[in-house]
Amino acid sequence: MSKALAFTFLLVLGLPQHGRCFSLRRLFQLAIPSPYSPLLSNYMSNEDMAAWLKSYAERCSHVSKLSSFGRSAGGAELLALEISSTPGQRTSKPEFKYVANIHGDEPSGRQLLLALAEKLCTEYPSNSLVKKVVDSLHLFLIPTINPDGFRMKHRENMASVDLNRNFPDPLKKTRLRSGGRPGRDDGEPQPEVQALMDFTLRHKFVASLALHEGALVANYPMDGYPDGSYSTRGIKQPSPDDASFMYIANLYAQRHKTMAASKEFKGGVTNGAQWYPLYGGMQDWNYLVAGCMELTLELNDNKWPKPNRLAEMWLENEQALLEWPLAVGLGGLHGSVRGIGPANGVLPIVATVAVQGIPHNISTSPEGVFHRVLAPGKYTVTVIAPGYTAQTADITIPADGATGVTTNFTLSRMGAATFKAPASVASFSQPDGTVRVVSPQMGISKTTASSGFLASNQKALAFVGLQVLVIGTFIAWRKRRNSTSFRSAL
């Protein structure tokens, strides 16, 4: 097909009008039929999409597994499509999730994720980039988390709750405790939110993308202020991992065809609270509670784009959707933590990975594996596990960002001794086989039994205690830091 013919072909079909100039190359790309072009011609109903996903899982069973993880308030099934060369298996590969349609009137992500899934199946293993994604990662696609809102064509779910204000993030709880007026989004988590939280906590997601519409920008935490303010505007609220969040937000914006050239947002990225504050959002909950670094992507200036815009949106996002998880998942710090047992055997252990100067930690998987998102630079990393002597390593993440660092830790058993962890983390004391988690800043003291290798319920207690500690310490830290910056800004 000639370029002229391709151009004519598009004019006949109806060229999307968005005030942007098309290159002949992009017009030609749009005119070439592909296995996923039918997915970009219209919006599927919930029923048709569920049927397509189930058919896909059968057709592409070598690289996928479909799972149901709950139901919406209206009873619609919530589905997650895992894509990997080892679907359904627990491996050391980093896990990612892409979530679309949390707002019912922002549906383009539904079709984009289906197109992505089709590409990852039909072009594997012939396409080298596709092969690398499928072989290197576990990628979970959730095309809709608000099927009822989509069906009714409005933002909220069937109970008229904005799901992206319904997550129980710690900043939201602080706002309510300090006298903030509760709204209809502040009640118990809706079925969709609860199902997604449970699903997230069953995994160890390294990072996540939430696909929205209404602007063109990559938004990163924090979305709210420690004091729960709505009136504060234009002031950035950085997270402890601000440098790394800015880095991965720029990774997406630069791989998108037009996002980085935004005139409204420098470089096509923004801090959430600096744009406008919100509480109970999925993004902050993922970071503070699940240890997952999520970005909120606004992918189109207008909500509910016309169907003839979908193919262009796919071309704008295709490279970013494929390359972003590779850059994030294979860059940064990776490794495993093992402990020397009573008989000098070496086994995986659950441990906390702390980075000096960043008061937000992650934990390993039950298999002792960890993936820590870090921007290029030099870091001091300490690994801590109850019953073991902590271990510290200095690492350098290369400037190219695409090359990660792998550091494996083997911890020796600790006798009747006490290790003082970094102040931003915790102190563990084991003179009698117990674990004590202490935060002087928050007045927290948590004790649980330990025998070196924790039983499942003991691991859970230790993990929950650490999460409470880290979140509380972060809020206290930000309050102290912002008390000065807020005064200077007024």
Phi, psi of 238 (to 5 degrees): -75, 150
Tell me if residue 458 falls in helix, strand or coil.
helix
Active-site choice (213, 298, 316, 318): 298
Q: Are 97 and 67 in contact (CB under 8 A)?
A: no
Helix (H) or strand (E) holding 384: strand 377-384
Q: How many CB atoms are located within 10 Å of the residue 19 CB?
A: 5
Residues 38-71 as b/e (b if ≥16 CB within 10 A, e otherwise) read ebbeebbebeebbebbeebbeebeebbbbeebbe
Cα separation, 168 vs 400, whole angstroms: 37
Cα separation, 149 vs 191, whole angstroms: 13
Token pair of 95 as six digits:
């896990």
Task: Write out the DSSP string of 81-148.
Answer: EEESSSTT---SS-EEEEEE-SSTT--HHHHHHHHHHHHHHHTTTTSHHHHHHHHH-EEEEES-S-HH
Cα Rg of the chain (Å, integer) = 23
- DSSP letter assigned to residue 18: S
Helix (H) or strand (E) holding 149: helix 147-152
Sequence-distant (6+) residues with CB within 8 A of 264 are 215, 216, 217
298 is annotated as an active-site residue: yes
Tell me if residue 37 falls in helix, strand or coil.
helix
Strand blocks (E) in 112-244: 138-142, 205-212, 215-220
Angle of helix 108-122 versus helix 128-136 axis, rounded to 10? 100
Tokens 């947002």, residue?
A: 265
Helix (H) or strand (E) holding 420: strand 418-420
Helix (H) or strand (E) holding 196: helix 191-201
Instruction: Just list the catalytic residues.
Output: 298
